[in-house]
Structures are given as structure tokens and as C-alpha cells.
Structure 1
Amino acid sequence: MTTTPPAEATPKTISNTQLWLTLIAVLLADALDLVDSTITNIAAPSIVHDLGAGESLIKWLGAAYALALGSLLVLGGRVGDKFGQRQTFLTGMAGFVAASAFAGLAPNGGTLIAARVLQGVFGAFLIPQGMAIITATFPKAAMQKAFSVFAPMLGIFAVGGPILGGFLIDANLFGLHWRPIFLINIVIGGFALVFAWRFLPNVPAHRGTRLDVLGSLLLIAALFGVLFGLITGSTDGWDALPIASIVVGVVVFGGFVRRQATTPEPLLARSLFTNRGFTAGLIMGLLVFAAFAGLMYVVSLFFQYELHYTPTHTAISLIPLTIGIMGGSGASAALIGRLGRRLAFAGLLLDVLGIAVLLFFVNRAGLDITWWQNAIALFIMGLGAGICFSTIFNTALGDVEAHEAGAASGSISAVQQVANGIGSAVVTSVFLTTVASGGVRAMTITLLVSLGLVSLCLLAVPLLPKQAAELDH
């Protein structure tokens, strides 16, 4: 998500102790992002009930954060290149903590959504710097050890985040209900900020880096315009406002495309989109991440609204999904070099199977579905997701030239976040629009939509490069 600095810009060698202190600082930043990107899946019903808000708030809680983050992620990486990764990291962390406090104290839904957007904006300037600093400061052998720590720690954060959120909501600390899920970032993020200020090394800035601020603003305006129209229309009816919003969003997106075609420094390298394998992988990743993010949000809503699970019970019930994702990711790392795009096909098939199993159990047992039925289906879905997420994107990079690898990786990270935002809003709209006719019917329709999106990706697998990119870690 950021260009690799030239050799002469590499900072002086730092001690082995500081290398690992740097890794801790980066992990703390990624933990904040990973927890805040998923915690509202658990908290949404409690937030909506407490604020007396409508279902549109449910759709925006995850989408606002993910779209802001994804739209600005590439720009955030380049800001770090231009002004220095350490300074940008500290600014992003400070802003993220402030936005979290803003969210935790929000008096109404509109203020909360604004705070979630700000979290995403500062997250976009925070997250890219960590990997750039590690790449610039770690020797190759130490970098390999760091990556071996990175993956399992992110898995722990993925499991722990929703459980922490469920516990905090059910504990109702100081009578604050859901608010501690954001306010706790003041403590964790404040510690991370001081820790990073003390131990994060300086990486020389590249003042000649060009920033396409206009392109980023056009992209974020286009995405929010289209999504505002979709959410408003599905919630309040298709009158002039949502239709006009979608039209304006599409027109602005056309301006973004034109901007990318003419500016000397586009956010997304133009040459990448003549690469069929990369483009196919990007589109597949968009569909799969959108379907998965949306479905996981709906599963959480189904558990709480229809099965009457508590937030903690819901979070614990999602653990089989996370275990499956971790197992699938491990299998992908071990097999991708040998199987290439065939592994992506296998992951998609498992995802389809998991959705089909959950569809079967929901229709067979209805609202009497048991914990073990949910666990089986979610584990299979997680296993497939863990395999196909990294495999699709790594395979998409298989035919990318070495000098384009950084830009391609940045594009993939941005698309992943945008897909999370779109999926959490659109797939959730399907569920909430049909839930009045019964939770089982709404869940059935949502599962069928998700099944269709993932199945469509199976047809595109032959367009991917046969082999994945060779990774150094």
C-alpha cells in the first residue's frame, strides 16, 4: 500500500530490542483497526436500541468505517512516504483515539456515524505505516520472524475483539451500555501512542512523492453517495433523494475514473488494469469480501434479534468461524505455492458448502437451530474464507511485474476494505428489508444472495494466473 523506499533511504541499523518493540507498536495499531472493524457487528442491536435509532444506523455502523478507510488507504500510504512514516503513524493514532472518544460519547446516531467516518479516515493514515516501517527497518531474517508472529496475533485479535465487545456490553460498566467498546480505545490507543512515540524508529521521508488528494476525495464522495442512496432507498423508500444520491455518486465515480486516466500519479497504477489476472482477482475479491462481511453481520443480527442471544453469547458462537479462518489461512500459506488458483477454487467451494449447510439447518430447524449446527456451518465457511481470501489476492499478483507489486498490494488492501463496507450495508439491507416476513425467511434470502455471489466467483477462477506471487514471508 506504499512504495518501497530506495536503498539509500534506508535508516541506520537499529538494535534487535527496538525491532521487536517496533513490531509491538505496529501490532497494537492493527489490533485497534481489526477490533473496531468488527466490533459493531456484535454491538449494533444494543446501540440502535439505546439511541432509539432506525435500521439505517445498523447498515452504516460498519460501512462508514470501512468505506472511509478503504477510500483513503492508498493516499494514507503515500502521505507516510512524503512526510515520514513515524510522524504519520503518530498522527493517525492520535486522531483514531480522539475519534474513538467522539464515538463513545456520541449522543445520537448521526454523531456516531460521523465519528466512525473519522475513525476510518485516521485509520487510513495509521495502518499503512506499520508495514512500511517494518519493511524499511527489519533485516530479511528478522522480517520473516516478524511475519510468523504477525499472522497468529491477528487471529487472536480477530477472536478476542468480538468477545471483548460482547463482554463490555453485557457488563454495562458504569451504566454506559455499549459505549465502552469505543471508550476503551482511549486506554489502549493512548498506551499505543505513547509506546510508539517512545520506540518507533524514524524512516526517511521522500518529499518528492506526489499525492492525488483530489482523486481520493472523488472516490470517497462517489462511494458514500451510492451507498447513501442504497441505504436510504432500502430503508425509507425509493423517492427522489436516494435515486439522486446514486446518480450523483455514479457521476462522481466517472470523474474519479477520468482523473485516474489523466493524472501523472494515479492512486491505482493504470498498467495494472491491462493485466487480466490481476483485474479478475480484484473483482473476485470485491465480491467475496462483500458477501462474507455482509453475511457475518447478518448472522450476528440473526443470533441477537431472532435467536435472542446476548452479545457475549453471540461473540462466543462466532468463535468456530474465526477458528476456521485461522485454519484456512494456515493451509493457504502451506499450499498456495503448489496449487495456485486451484486452491482459490477449493476455498470458494468450501465457502459455498458452508453457506449451503447453514441454509439447510436454518430451513430444517428454523429458530430452534442448535449451537452445534451453527458451529459446523460457520467453521466450514470460515475454513473456505481463510483459504480463498489470501489465495485469491496472492494469485492475482502472480503475473504482476516486480516494480508494480507495491501498488498492486495497496490496491488490494483498499478494495478489501471497500468491499467490507459495501457488503456490510448491502447484504444487511437484504436481511432487514425482508425480516418483517419472518427471521427464517429473511435469513434464507440473505444466504441465497451470498451463495449466488460466491458461486459467481467460481466461474472467474480460470481468469486468474495459474500460480501465485512468490512471497518473502
Structure 2
Amino acid sequence: MQVTTTRWAALAVLLAAEAMNVLDATITQVAAPAIHAGLGGARSDIQWFGAAYTLPFAVLLITGGRLGDRYGRRRLFLAGVTGFAIASLCCAVAPDAGVLIAARAVQGAAAALVIPQTIGLIRAAFSGPELAAALGWNGPVVGVSAVTGPVLGAVLTDAASWRVAFLVNVPISVAVLAARRLLPEDRAAAPVRLDLVGTVLAAAGVGLVVHPLITRWHWPVFAAGAAVLAVFAVQQRNRRHPLVERSLFHDRGFPAALVTSTLFFAVMNGLMLVVVLHQQLDEGRDVLTSGLTLLPWSGGLAVSSWVAGTWLVPRFGSRVAFAGLGSLLAGILLAIGWPRGLLGALALGGLGLGLFTVPFFTTALSRVRPQETGSAAGLLNAVQQLGATLGVAVLGSVYLHGHSVAPAFWLAAALVVATAATTALMGSPTASREGPRGEW
């Protein structure tokens, strides 16, 4: 009984750290104008308050997962939490925009060490039915944290100061570090060699692709990033010890999961930004009101993910994912057809988010074998961040250029339909793989 309690306490510690790191990716969305007003600097600094975090986060995720394979996931997890706490304190006391942006970059790099380790440490602590239940919490925590960021940023900025939004990370980090004895050590069974060339190519390629999406659309930079990633793919095929485990791509299930994650998080994060911008620019709402508008969105996600993990997925399996996408699509269409019912539409969409994330993450991760954990965790989180960046860039641009939420919402609806198609492709793998898998 005590062993079981210790395992679940360890899960709570891991998820607390994961939530803290994911939350900070979006916490400046609403508070950025207030931060700029307090610190001054160039107007372009506003977008870098968020981009300085998400860029190194996206670039280093795959490498962070591989480092955990080699040096131990518990060790890398604790190092990342420590770095995150120090960087958060620097953000809270930053005297100017330059210092804040630099501290945010360190935060993002530290998060890239923390996030990939959580899946491996969960797999080390649990087995059998308990493993599926524990992994089922991963998606909801990630989703709730991502959509809670703007709300929390708005509340703390209005009630106290934007500095408090960063300062709250310090006691959470200290609590996680204090509970470090609960965490098991885990690493790849076979010796893992670091692919330094692959690491550089992956970091450069992802950086060149993500950078223009965050700041401004520069097609030559984007094309250069795509070319570097193509070189990375060829290099990985010829490596004896690649950065990314090639076995993950032996059937279409995991690649389909990567595409699905990209599309889904593009919708989730892009719609969040569009709603916040609409509230402030079109409706004239203040920071707090526009942030609180997202409460039905995050509340629906929290409730439905718990219901899905507790009752629906154990009974109906992966079909719950399609029900979630249907609910999300219905919420988007309701917002288009009845703008005054936006809060209800957001609640309906939020319910869909939770219904989707639990079966999606559980099934995607159930395909992963122990030696693939570092690569799989890094890849899933990297494409999630890429999808979030794509959603913010594309849906945000459509809204700003069209001066209306309707075009952005129609595009989001189309992306939800595409997500349903790629979700269907996750099933019926073309090649047999060892270990448990989700049933589609």
C-alpha cells in the first residue's frame, strides 16, 4: 500500500513540474502589454517575451530526451527544475526587457530538460494497468496547463504584478526538489551515444523553422530550416546511433501521432490567441476580462479530461478521441453562427479538448518501447510546441488581416477535420511492434 502511495505521490511531483513548465509557455500572452509598459524597450520586445521561451524549448526538446536516456532521467529532471527556478527568479526581478528576454530563454532551455523526462520516469514507476492510468494524466495536465497560462497571467497581473506570475514558480520548484527522493532513477538499458552532428542539425533546423513563425513570416529562413531538417533526416538514416530512434517510424502509427499532435495543438493555441485578441481589440475588454473569458475553455478541458480518464476511455476506448474532436468542432461552429454565445461555445470546445487528449496521449505513448522513450517524448513535445507556434502564427495572422474572428474560426474547423483524419491513421499499424498498444 505504501509503495503504491509513493508511486502516485511521485506522479504528482512529476506532473506539477510539467504543468509549471508548460504553463509558462503561454503565461505572457495576455500580460505582455503590461510587461512592456513596465519595462519599456522596443515594441518588438512584446512578442519576444513569449518567443524567447518557446524557441529554445522547441529546439532542445529532442536533445533533452536523449540526454535523459544517456545520463539518467531523474538527474536531468532535477537539473532542469533547478535551472527553471533560478531563471524564474531572474524573470521576476528583471530590471529591463533585455534581461527578461535572456532569462526567458534560459527558462525555455531548462523546460526542454524537464518535459521529456516525465514520460520515462512515469514508465519507470508504474507498470500494467496502473501505467495506462498514470500516462492518462499526462495529456490532460499538458492541456490544462497550456490553456490556463493566459488566464493565470491575467489574474496575477491584475491582482498584483506580472512579476508574481514568474515568482510563483520558485516555491513550486523548491517543493518538487524537496520531493526528489520519491522519484526513481531511469535510463536506457543499452548504452546511448550522443549524436552531436544530429543534435546540431535538429536544433538548427527546428530553430530556423520556428523562428519565422514566432516573429515574422520570412519564407527564405523557413525554407532553409526545412532543408536542414531534410539533411537531418538523411543523416539519421545513416547513423548507427541516431538521435531519433528509427524504429519509431517502422509503422505509420507514431508518425500519424506526430502529425495529429501538431494539428491539434495548432487549433488549441491558435484559438486561444484569437479569442484574447478579439476581446481586447474588438470588444474593448481589459486584460483581466479577456483572460477570464477563457475560463470555460480551460474548465471544460479540466472536467472532461477527468471524466474521460476515469470512466469513458476505460469503457469505450479510443472512440472517445473522435467524440472529443466532434465536440471541439461543434464549439467552433457555434461560435461562428452565434457570436453572442461565445462562452458556451468555448465550454463546448473545452470539453472536446479533454475528451481528445486522454485517449490520444495514452495510445500514442503505449506504442513506445523503453529504449525509444527519450526520442518519443522529445519528438511528441517538439511537434506539440511546433503546432502551438503554427496555430498562433497562422490563426493570429488570419484574424489580424481579416479583422474578424470568423475566417480564423473556419480555418480552425478545417484543421479539426484534418486532425480527425490523421487520428484515424494512428490505427492498424503496418508492422508489428513489441509491447502493448492502444486499440483503434
Whether TM-score is above 0.5 comes out as: yes
Measure how far apart 1:296 and its partner are: 0.8
Q: For residues 239-250 of structure 1, what are the structure 2 equivalents within 5 Å?
A: 242-250=218-226
What is the one-letter code of the residue matched to 2:227?
V
Partners of 2:202 and 2:185 in 1: how far apart? 31
Which residue in 2 is equivalent to 1:69?
A: 57
**Kept in 2: contact 1:350–1:380 (CA 8 A):** yes
- State whether structure 2 residue 283 is matched by structure 1 residue 283: no
Which residue in 2 is equivalent to 1:83?
A: 71
**Kept in 1: contact 2:204–2:228 (CA 8 A):** yes
2:243 to 267, 270, 280: 267
- State whether structure 2 residue 28 is matched by structure 1 residue 40: yes
Unaligned runs of 5+ in 1: 1-12, 235-241, 363-368, 435-440
Q: For residues 81-120 of structure 1, what are the structure 2 equivalents within 5 Å?
A: 81-109=69-97, 111-120=99-108
Identity over the aligned pairs, expressed in percent? Answer: 36
Measure how far apart 1:107 and its partner are: 4.8
Q: For residues 23-422 of structure 1, what are the structure 2 equivalents within 5 Å?
A: 23-52=11-40, 56-57=44-45, 59-109=47-97, 111-138=99-126, 162-172=150-160, 177-193=161-177, 195-197=178-180, 200-203=183-186, 208-234=191-217, 242-330=218-306, 332-333=308-309, 334-336=311-313, 342-362=319-339, 369=340, 373-395=341-363, 400=367, 406=373, 407-408=375-376, 410-422=378-390
Measure how far apart 1:201 and its partner are: 4.9
Measure how far apart 1:92 and its partner are: 0.7
Partners of 1:275 and 1:34 in 2: how far apart? 29
TM-score (norm 2): 0.82
Which residue in 2 is equivalent to 1:238?
A: none
Deviates more, 1:373-382 or 1:454-463: 454-463
Q: What per-residue deviation string (whole Å, max 9, x for no partner) do you get for residues 130-159 of structure 1? A: 443343345768767866887887787667
**Kept in 1: contact 2:280–2:286 (CA 8 A):** yes
**Kept in 2: contact 1:67–1:220 (CA 8 A):** no
Partners of 1:387 and 1:59 in 2: how far apart? 31
**Kept in 2: contact 1:45–1:301 (CA 8 A):** no
Measure how far apart 1:337 and its partner are: 6.0
1:450 to 412, 419, 431: 412
Partners of 2:204 and 2:20 in 1: how far apart? 25
Measure how far apart 1:96 and its partner are: 0.8
Partners of 2:315 and 2:306 in 1: how far apart? 14
Partners of 2:381 and 2:96 in 1: how far apart? 31
Partners of 1:458 and 1:153 in 2: how far apart? 22
Distance 1:149 1:272, change over 3 A: closer
Q: What per-residue deviation string (whole Å, max 9, x for no partner) do you get for residues 340-384 of structure 1? A: 66443332222222111112233xxxxxx4xxx222110111122
Distance 1:151 1:459, change over 3 A: closer
**Kept in 2: contact 1:347–1:384 (CA 8 A):** yes
Partners of 1:403 and 1:83 in 2: how far apart? 15
Measure how far apart 1:318 and its partner are: 1.6
Measure how far apart 1:325 and its partner are: 1.5
**Kept in 1: contact 2:116–2:377 (CA 8 A):** no
Unaligned runs of 5+ in 2: 430-435
Partners of 1:37 and 1:52 in 2: how far apart? 22
What is the one-letter code of the residue matched to 1:218?
L
Distance 1:275 1:86, change over 3 A: closer
Counterpart of 1:189 in 2: which secondary structure? helix
Distance 1:402 1:108, change over 3 A: same
**Kept in 1: contact 2:325–2:420 (CA 8 A):** yes
**Kept in 2: contact 1:83–1:206 (CA 8 A):** no
Counterpart of 1:300 in 2: which secondary structure? helix
Measure how far apart 1:450 and its partner are: 1.6
Deviates more, 1:253-262 or 1:133-142: 133-142
**Kept in 1: contact 2:328–2:353 (CA 8 A):** yes
Query: Which has the larger Rg?
Result: 1
Measure how far apart 1:451 and its partner are: 2.0
Measure how far apart 1:430 and its partner are: 3.1
Distance 1:233 1:397, change over 3 A: closer
Partners of 2:422 and 2:71 in 1: how far apart? 40
Partners of 1:68 and 1:50 in 2: how far apart? 25
Partners of 1:382 and 1:465 in 2: how far apart? 25
Partners of 1:97 and 1:294 in 2: how far apart? 28
**Kept in 1: contact 2:124–2:184 (CA 8 A):** no
**Kept in 2: contact 1:323–1:382 (CA 8 A):** yes
